[in-house]
Amino acid sequence: TVDTMHFITAAFLNTACMCIIAALGHVEPKAITRDVNETEMFYYDIRPELFNWTNGADTKFVFTPSLQNYPDLLHWIHYKFNSKNRHGYLYGTPPANLLERQILLDVIGLNKKTYQVETQVIR
């Protein structure tokens, strides 16, 4: 009946929401918070220490930032890597009409000496 279907659908949605909340709760403590004002330029330094790695002379790193759950960054966020100090830099100027007030970025770090991969979330 319709009532049974409604109950099953509501139970499924409740379970799905609880799973999503649990998954997000797992990410939250690891997220690094960074406050950025709209129309003001910002930069964020991505260092090996962010992933609990030491920046040794013979170690090479690769950092890949992206908007969480998307393959690239927003059009106003840029990324550069400095091979001399092995740091990555996120920078840009948020537009004044930004609809989403909270942005989550995934930064994937690869230690090319050990091939260890780590992920950090920047909010």
pLDDT at 12: 41
| Helix, strand, coil percentages, rounded to 5, for the chain | 25, 30, 40
pLDDT at 19: 35
Q: Which residue has the higher pLDDT, 69 or 23?
A: 69
pLDDT at 2: 46
pLDDT at 97: 79
Nearest to 86 by CA among 113, 111, 55: 55
* pLDDT band, very low/low/confident/very high, at 34 (cuts 50, 70, 90): low
Phi, psi (rounded to 5 degrees) for 65: -90, 150
Residue with tokens 């909010």: 123
Strand ranges of the sheet holding 105-111, from the earlier edge strand across to the other edge: 61-67, 105-111, 116-122
